[in-house]
Chains A and B, each alone.
Chain A
């Protein structure tokens, strides 16, 4: 398998996962392969590195194309099925591209009791996207999340890493509008929002 992954991307696209994945592999930024190598070099160990590594790749690429999974499998001495088994088990990992803004509506009990379902329904209309899907303009993903732990602010929605609370349909619409106009100004950028680092 490893000969399929030279960094010049000139090798035969792997037919193992189909034509669409083959195209994705070709389009991948080749920096990812060295990012994976660096991660493994800086973190010696065994299979326990798999999940942190998958997090890193998904953070970087935006999702986990099969080509990356195969590469990781090879480097960790696992079969691609084992890696795919882990990827498919955990809710966070995805093998399809994500939108610029990932809406995760909290469906925890407190938010549910405060009518979170109605927010989901409203968002499906406003973002023109189905649950778990990507909007046509590639901007928005809509998912339900398990409890975000912001119950004091029910109902809550996490947009990328930022939690927005005490939402009503109106506030939601304003937020969507501001994100749309933001994305018009910044054509391509990393994920919006803070919260991933320490607060100072």
Chain B
């Protein structure tokens, strides 16, 4: 029957197995319920009353179905509320009450789909009809969750119809010992976290002495971020009951308890309904299924204690006592509830048992790895697109879970780490994304399988604060019985607290590690024993963040409140007071805004034009709608307010000292400025090229940074401060400069030498080095790259070269980058502009050799694919055999990296890549009185990083020369903050304004500036979106 025919058929018939699905199935998992799914179900019911032709007709031979059924959680929480129409085989997402009528009229009446309610594959937008198409489900293997989303958890008949209680029947026909054996051979391990072999535990209980035994289900899922057991109890309670009953039979127990957290009222309710229905049908109670086997179950509610997830504490709680663990042995299997042998297993473990019995041990153990059989549910949450509940075979990689199932990281952020095992677990960084998930591999990484919580984090999560968060949780939940846990964790928390507040010391890290080992080895129960895990794990994989907090009072995620004022200022390497200049701009006081910027940097227009804006990546407004276009506002403030430049100033007392600065890029110019203007030193800048500016002049093309703007700031600000710049002058080595009478030297030579490709045919006519190419253009020399140009590389130099080549007359410019788009280091704004200008970017492509054929160059290329991650966490590209192809071009520009040129001639210690080795705080080299900074130290970095180095160098050089090292400048009065309010209630979502650009077509033949400055009105509008995070109003 076609979909339309189905839809028109008035009578529903049972399928081959005699089951009938309701017309409409609405997900009633907690998340969907909270999003209004029950109201949607109700609306459907009301609507069906008005559409009798859609109702189910009841026939004596047909089992009675319902119009609207509810199901348990599908796991696809990110797309809820979910509504399925089984006879059309469609799953609708993000349904609202307003959609109900349309679904009835379109899908039920006509059998057609409501396109806008279908899930769209985020990669290409294809609509997905149901679970088979949706990427989230495709790599999953739902075993424990097999019925969740399919059956009505409050209808035992639905469960039986899909084969439920068939395993119980089978088991009751076996010998008890054979049931235990089946579970043993299946390799099923406890799913609560520890992974103890389930069958083995059953055997111990089964063989224990005594006739009164108990079976307990641990439903105290306390890990924050875990909701697998909740979904199971709410979505398929009978699976849990069936597993427990089989277990009871196997071990000889007659009473069972399901201990459920009090925070799960819906799970408690659904379990009680299930128990009642089971009793009514004879699956619980006396003489189950007519056999000589009695078993009944009570539901016991917890009362909000995480430690009651620990088995001995849980048993004490059932007994009405304080939930405090006790030493083991004896284990509950021998002495449990009221001293009797007690089998205690996790919810998910029980849910797997019916499958073990019906499939048999061999089949069950076909899935998984050698040591971890079967599947595992995970609650995938945090900074990931497809938040929800998933179940996957053991051995799947973390990368597949996060990217293929989870859909990757939202908002263009990058994967930083995944936390498994809740507060007792550990974090897994990007370099281990290809780890196959199983109990052993996770343990080796210092993480833990745990109950299944999998929280994904991006770069806006501070790992130190995260460790503190988990530790605080455990300190709170510690039962207090044993000193290592009660006292030790609190001491650790105090230390971590200090670190997040900028008060830590490096010794603290040693104390943390030592204390951790003590607490691990001497705590009474699992809570204490695993409490240090989060700290140890973050120290192991993210130690540099701890060091940054301690040594630099810097939190790179901008989360630690006491260290971070506003995240934007904290992220700015020069510490510009961004919220203040945004406030001034919002009130059109652009001159004041200009001065605020000028207080921290001497090149405000340059930054307003080309800074890559690390501030924007941390702007908190992004959580509301979009981050602010901070840089564009700054540019506007500068252009409308730079007349306020304080050109007349009181010159400082001459210090009598002379400083040589080698290199007139942003690092050198900045250091020179402060040393001259604030510290009174006599500064001479040596620049080997004909004009000052370094990469600002010779690297960044004119259409991004016009020459006049650069000249203006160099003249009006740098030179006006008294700095002498000697162009076309090579400096000697640092020693030679000292002999010439300079008291200190700052080496800021940048990184101007391009890397070679090291491929055959590389040294011939028509192949340019990227930096040299850009320099020739800036020098005004004649450059003709020809009609067809290939640019090799993926950084800013490569894109600058590509866009410049276009403006020199090239018609077809192709960029070849060996990694993927996600990994491309170039500023995304630049990449977008290049694409607009019709530059063809070939990702995962590598040139292998070049030959000249008459007038053109033939480049042999090969396509790449991403293999396993290397030490930096990036996946190594591997060539794909047979994917070779050729490109015919007129010239090739190579921009695959840069290093400092002629660095060895300066006479200071160099490290990897010829970068200067310096003390990170003072920027001092190994040579007395000689300092280094900018790209010479960092490698190709950014303008603002170089400026920040210039400031740091000035401070330390001044101190070296006997000064105070104070380079603070004040051009504004203290801000008047009366009347400043946070965003009001009316503040709805408002996207960011971006500056207008020249239309792509009109850019090509000129190096005319592409980006237009905001109008004053635009600048004001954008600036008013600021949330004033520095004032902590919100």
Contact = CB atoms under 8 A, between A and B. Distances in A.
B227 interface: yes
A40 interface: no
B321 A109 contact: no
A153 B317 CA distance: 30
A199 interface: yes
A200 B70 contact: yes
Contact of B70 (A46, A51, A164, A199): A199
A132 to B, nearest CB: 12
Given A146-B304, A147-B225, A200-B154, A110 B381 contact: yes
Interface in B270-306: 270, 273, 300-306
B269 A150 contact: no
Interface stretch (B27-35, B605-613, B701-709): B27-35
Given A86-B321, A113-B382, A163-B34, A146 B455 contact: no
A24 to B, nearest CB: 21
B379 interface: yes
A110 B422 CA distance: 10
Interface of B: 28, 30-31, 33-35, 38, 70, 77-78, 80, 154, 221-227, 230, 262-266, 269-270, 273, 300-306, 317-324, 379, 381-383, 387-389, 419, 422, 453, 455, 457, 461, 469-470, 473, 477, 479, 623-624, 985, 987-988, 1034
Residue of A122, A154, A156 contacting most chain B CB atoms (<10 Å): A154
A112 B453 CA distance: 14
26 contacts: A50-B320, A55-B301, A92-B304, A109-B225, A109-B453, A109-B469, A110-B225, A110-B379, A111-B224, A113-B457, A118-B1034, A146-B263, A146-B477, A147-B223, A149-B30, A151-B226, A152-B77, A156-B34, A158-B263, A161-B265, A163-B30, A165-B31, A165-B34, A169-B1034, A195-B266, A198-B154
Contacts of A52: 300-301
Contacts of B303: 51, 54-55, 90-93
Contacts, number: 166
Nearest to B306: A146
A150 B227 contact: yes
A1 interface: no
Nearest to B380: A151
Given A90-B305, A107-B473, 16 more contacts: A47-B320, A54-B303, A55-B301, A89-B305, A92-B303, A110-B455, A146-B263, A147-B222, A147-B227, A149-B263, A151-B381, A152-B31, A152-B80, A154-B382, A198-B270, A200-B154
Nearest to A85: B322
A109 B31 contact: no
B33 A199 contact: yes
A163 B224 CA distance: 16
A152 B387 contact: yes
A196 B381 contact: no
B301 A110 contact: no
B455 A109 contact: yes
Contacts of B35: 153, 165-166
Interface of A: 46-52, 54-55, 85-86, 89-93, 106-115, 118, 122, 145-154, 156, 158, 161-166, 168-170, 173, 195-200
Contacts of A158: 263
Contacts of B269: 196-198
Contacts of B154: 198-200
A37 B3 CA distance: 60
Contacts of A151: 77, 225-227, 379, 381, 387
B322 A89 contact: yes
Contacts of A55: 262, 301, 303
A17 B304 CA distance: 25
Given A147-B222, A150-B34, A48 B264 contact: no
B227 A113 contact: no
A181 to B, nearest CB: 15
B1034 A122 contact: yes
A147 B455 CA distance: 13
A86 B304 contact: no
Given A90-B323, A91-B304, A161-B265, A146 B1034 contact: no
B624 A168 contact: yes
Contacts of B33: 163, 195, 199
A125 to B, nearest CB: 9
Contacts of A114: 382
B317 A173 contact: no
7 smallest CB-CB distances across A and B, nearest first, come from: A152-B77, A108-B224, A91-B304, A110-B381, A90-B303, A149-B227, A147-B224
A123 B262 CA distance: 24
Contacts of A91: 303-305
A138 B31 CA distance: 29
A168 B623 CA distance: 9
A85 B457 CA distance: 39
Contacts of A90: 302-305, 323
A163 B263 CA distance: 11
A139 B306 CA distance: 28
Contacts of A111: 224
A115 B317 CA distance: 33
Contacts of A195: 33, 265-266
B262 A153 contact: no
A91 B221 CA distance: 15
A147 B38 CA distance: 23
A113 B419 CA distance: 11
A49 B300 CA distance: 10
Contacts of A150: 30-31, 34, 227
